[in-house]
Structure 1
Amino acid sequence: MASGSLIKLLVFELLEFAAFSIPTLVIMEQFATAYQMTRDRAEKTHYWLIVSCSIAYVASVSLLIWVPMKVLLYKKHRLTKNIKGWRPVMMMCVVFTTLPSFSFSIAVTEVQKNINDSAAVLPDTLPDLPVSLVLTSLIMVDIIEKLRTFSLRGRQKSDDEKHIPASTLQQIKTVTDQGRQNEGNPAHPQPAKRTAVSLPPAATTQRPALKEAGHQEPSFQSGILRTMSRRDVRAEIFLWSFLLWSDTIEMVRVAGHQAVYKSAWLYPVYIFSFISLLRIILTPQNPLLNSLGILLQDLPFIFVRLSLIIALGTITPVLGLCKNVLVTLSYVYFNYLTKFRVFSTFELSPF
């Protein structure tokens, strides 16, 4: 009987291969249907030619790149350990699935525009299924890669100590050591005020963390509230993986608006949406992930959304523009501007 780890490996590999191959086949079939409408509809030669080319592309990429890379990563554990900061599987999905899918999505509308009676052919909105399939497949591969290190059975063991802030532990340790010192030398206790004055500057910078640690969160030990307060990292992976790409999903959805895909605005929307997806290649704990999120998504989306609102109206939500602006400004301010003397003065809120 097959072990649970082997079944998990086979299921994950089949799901990843399906997410790698199906979006390209669906988008290419849509392109073949659009191209067939420009020709003799009774003759299906062009349609089957494009479909066969898409099947040949998926088969060749799978046999020449996907399968050898998977076998190499599975057999060579030393090679896997030396790969730091990026994920080869996600890079293959972005380059060989997402890029051609986005390209042929643009080609579908361009082919339909070349038809003489294009006004009757082009719908009011583009179908959402192909693009949603591409992004959902990419996100599912990302989730599978994150779940590989977790067991799918059994409850996750909770560790209460990992939720205690390090500053609180340091404060407890400092107070304990000071108490032991006073016990060893009871004749000369050190005044509390003098200790507060002699604190080094580095210690005063930790005061916000100490004050923040004073806010106590509720803890439920029994009943329905305990059941509702359970948290599992495996379930949160699904939640945050979709929330992370909600901005890109909204931007791609805007490309289906008739004012966008019937004009030249279709190109920058798809181009910058694809650029924002490049950061999915990085590992979740990569230190460059936050800065690349600003450079590849929020900052370009500010100009794209602002231009769309000025040229075509509020076809893209103003909330999305506010999110991009606030995230970019807060990142620049707290990471760079606070280093200057004008913004470096520390203020402790009384509340």
Structure 2
Amino acid sequence: MVSGRLIKLVVFELLEFAAFSVPTLVIMEQFATAYHSKRNASEKTHYWLIVSCSIAYVASVTLLIWVPVKVLLHKKHHLHKKIKGWRPVMMMCVVLTTLPSFSFSIAVAEVQKNINGTDDNSPDPLPDLSVSLVLTCLIVVDIIEKIRVYPLRGSQKSSEDSRIHETTLRQITTVTEQVRRSEENPSASQAARRPELSRSGEATTQIQALAPGTPEEPSFHSGVLKAMSRRDVRAEIFLWSFLLWSDTIEMVRVAGHPSVYNSGWVYPVYIFSFISLLRLILTPRNPLLNSLGMLLQDLPFIFVRLSLIIVLGTITPVLGLCKNILVMLSYVYFNYLIKLRVFSTFEIS
């Protein structure tokens, strides 16, 4: 009987390979169709030539890069310990799939632009299918790489619940050790009580300093409210993986607007959107992820969105610009400015 672990591995690998290969094939087919329409030729020689080149590209990249890297990662388990801070699978998807897809999306737009002219009545040169397909496949691979370490069956508590459980166990263990020591040697327990109390006091102060004045959250132990309050880290991976890239998705969608396309703003929009996707290469808990998020996404998007609003109007939501500005300012203030003497005074509400 086939084990569940083998089925899980096969399904994940097939999904990742489909997400790796399908976007390039679809967008290259769109480019072939647009190029064939431009020539207005009855024969489809150039169409099938472009399609065959896309198939050859996907096949060669798969056999020369994708399969060897996958085999090494599954056979050589010691490589996982040496690879720290970045993910080889996401790097292959970003460089070998997303970059060619974005490039040929711009090529499709330029070909259709030459066919339809530059009037505002021309159809949308950047269809939503290509943009949604590329980003969805990239997010799917990201979700698979994150959820691979979790079992797909059985209950799994969220990370916050596990931290609370570990903190409670540590406190119970400390109290148990203190009681045991006091029963065995009362004189020694009095001498050791002050250091232990000081350490426990410091730990309590640190826990309270993390969230001062935070209201106590309710807890439900029965009924419908208990079922509604369930949290699972595996479900949260799907939620936050899509929410994390909503800003980039909205920015790429702006490139399909006729005003952006006809004015040539499609190039900086696509370039900075691809640069923001480079964060996928890092592991989810990499300490550099937050700072690179500011430098690769929020800071460039501020200038791109502000320029689009000034030149072309509110074709991009002002809410996105406010989000980028507020996230950038809060990151700089709470990480760097509060270390200055003017902002270094600790306040207790």
TM-score past 0.5 threshold: yes
1:264 maps to what in 2? 264
Q: Aligned equivalents of 1:72 and 1:343: distance in 2?
A: 50
TM-score, normalised via structure 2 length: 0.87
Q: Which deviations, in whole Å up to 9, do the C-alpha atoms of 1:79-110 show, x marking residues without a partner? A: 12210000000000000000000000001111
> Cα–Cα, structure 1 residues 90 and 344, in superposed 2: closer, same or farther, change >3 Å?
same
Question: Match for 1:319: what amino acid?
Answer: L
Deviation at 1:347, TM superposition (A): 1.2
1:154-169 → structure 2 map (5 Å cutoff): 154-156=154-156, 160=161, 162-163=163-164
Deviation at 1:203, TM superposition (A): 9.0
Q: What residue ranges of structure 1 are gaps of 5+ in the alignment?
A: 189-194
2:307 maps to what in 1? 307
Q: Which deviations, in whole Å up to 9, do the C-alpha atoms of 1:213-233 show, x marking residues without a partner? A: 6x3211111100000000011
Contact kept, 8 Å, 1:167 with 1:209, in 2: the verdict is no
Q: Which deviations, in whole Å up to 9, do the C-alpha atoms of 1:10-48 show, x marking residues without a partner? A: 000000000000000000001111111111331211111
Q: Percent identity?
A: 74
- SS for the counterpart of 2:115 is coil
Deviation at 1:113, TM superposition (A): 2.3
Q: Aligned equivalents of 1:124 and 1:47: distance in 2?
A: 21
> Cα–Cα, structure 1 residues 330 and 25, in superposed 2: closer, same or farther, change >3 Å?
same
Contact kept, 8 Å, 2:255 with 2:261, in 1: the verdict is yes
Q: What residue ranges of structure 2 are gaps of 5+ in the alignment?
A: 191-196
- SS for the counterpart of 1:34 is helix
2:193 maps to what in 1? none
Q: Aligned equivalents of 1:95 and 1:142: distance in 2?
A: 14
2:210 maps to what in 1? 209
Question: Match for 1:70: what amino acid?
Answer: K
Residue 228 (str. 1) matches residue 260 (str. 2): no
Q: Aligned equivalents of 2:287 and 2:85: distance in 1?
A: 8
Contact kept, 8 Å, 2:118 with 2:262, in 1: the verdict is no
Q: Aligned equivalents of 1:300 and 1:229: distance in 2?
A: 38
2:194 maps to what in 1? none
2:110 maps to what in 1? 110
1:312-323 → structure 2 map (5 Å cutoff): 312-323=312-323
- SS for the counterpart of 1:216 is coil
Residue 59 (str. 1) matches residue 73 (str. 2): no
Contact kept, 8 Å, 2:113 with 2:125, in 1: the verdict is no
Deviation at 1:126, TM superposition (A): 3.1
Q: Which deviations, in whole Å up to 9, do the C-alpha atoms of 1:259-318 show, x marking residues without a partner? A: 011221000000000000000000001000000000000000000000000000000000
Q: Aligned equivalents of 1:169 and 1:155: distance in 2?
A: 23
Question: Match for 2:210: what amino acid?
Answer: A
Question: Match for 1:90: what amino acid?
Answer: M
1:90 maps to what in 2? 90
Q: Aligned equivalents of 1:78 and 1:298: distance in 2?
A: 36
